[in-house]
Amino acid sequence: MYLDFSNKRARKLIEDYELSEDEVRQIVAAARINLATFDPEYRANVTQLSQDLDRSRPTIYNWADRALDATITSLRNIRTGRPPKERATRRTPRLSND
C-alpha cells in the first residue's frame, strides 16, 4: 500500500496524534473498507489490503467495523444547531417610584 505523506493535513494529523506508519495503514484500510461498503462507485480489494498489511481479512474487517462504530458514536453525540445563549445574570424587575 502506497501512502503519500506530502499532504499537509496528513502530516499534521500524524504529528498531532503521534501515529506510526502501521497505524496510518490501519486507518487507510478501515476507511477504504467502509467507503466500499457504502459507496457503490468505490471498490476496495480486501485481499490486497490484508496482504499489504500482513493481516487476515477478518482483522481488516474488524478494524473497519470498529472505526465505523466510533464514527457513528461520534456523529450521534454531536449536538446540532446553535448552542443556547448564556444569560449573563438574571435581572430583577425594577420597582417604580410612583
Q: What digits encode the pLDDT tens for the residues 46-74?
A: 999 999 999 999 999 999 999 999 999 99
52 part of a folded domain: yes
C-alpha span between 3 and 41 (Å, rounded): 22
**Total domain count for the chain?**
1
14 part of a folded domain: yes
Q: Which residues form the domain of 23?
A: 8-75
C-alpha span between 95 and 39 (Å, rounded): 65
Model confidence at 18, pLDDT cuts 50, 70, 90, reads very high
